[in-house]
């Protein structure tokens, strides 16, 4: 319908429209016919040809390389992090555990877990600053 309204406004700029409602209905019908023809044309083409017109959402090679470099820096920083802080951070970020669960499993307070997470985030931020 939005396309039909746009067409109406474009047409009104050049010509007078006697019955805007009828104009909108006819434009909507025509747009629907055009869309069905386009879909049929896509459906009638060989699979490989039809897929060639689809957008490619895969990352570009330089984006992949950049992501791998960032991941390598993060992994290096994680290896340099104190073991207990790393374990708590990974349990929270990778395993998705709540602070309370981590505190109970490690025999420490929830506040201590929060401090370890904060230290880990700061540590990673400092080590990966160049990203």
For the cut 60, the answer to whether the pLDDT of residue 50 exceeds it is no
Q: Point out the domain boundary residue: 52, 72, 91.
A: 52
Q: Are residues 74 and 123 in the same domain?
A: yes
Residues 66 and 97 grouped into a single domain: yes
Top pLDDT among 32 and 80 is at 80
Give pLDDT, residue 121.
Answer: 95
Residue-range definition of the domain harbouring residue 96? 61-127
Same domain, 78 and 113: yes
**How confident is the prediction for the chain on average, in pLDDT?**
85
Same domain, 69 and 113: yes
Other CB atoms within a 10 A radius of the CB of residue 27 amount to 18
Q: State residue 6's pLDDT score.
A: 82
User: Alpha-carbon distance 127 to 131, whole Å?
Assistant: 9
Verify that 72 and 109 share a domain, yes or no.
yes
User: Angle at CA 30, nearest 5°, toward 29 and 34?
Assistant: 120
Q: What is the pLDDT of residue 46?
A: 66
The pLDDT-based confidence of 54 (bands split at 50, 70, 90) is low
pLDDT higher for 115 or 58?
Answer: 115
Place of tokens 């981590």: 102
Mean pLDDT of 37-50: 65
102 and 85 in contact (C-beta within 8 Å)? no
Question: How much is the pTM?
Answer: 0.54
Residues 66 and 121 in one domain: yes
The number of distinct structural domains making up the chain is 2
């Amino acid at each position: 319908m939005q396309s039909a309204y746009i067409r109406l406004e474009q047409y009104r700029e050049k010509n007078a429209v006697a019955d805007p409602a009828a104009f909108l209905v006819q434009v909507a019908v025509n747009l629907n016919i055009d869309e069905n023809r386009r879909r049929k044309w896509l459906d009638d083409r060989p699979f490989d040809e039809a897929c060639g017109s689809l957008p490619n959402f895969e990352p570009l090679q330089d984006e992949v390389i950049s992501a791998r470099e960032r991941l390598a820096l993060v992994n290096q920083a994680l290896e340099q992090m104190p073991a207990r802080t790393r374990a708590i951070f990974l349990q929270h970020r990778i395993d998705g555990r709540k602070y309370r669960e981590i505190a109970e499993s490690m025999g420490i307070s929830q506040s201590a877990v929060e401090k370890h997470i904060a230290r880990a985030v700061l540590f990673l931020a400092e080590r990966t600053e160049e990203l």
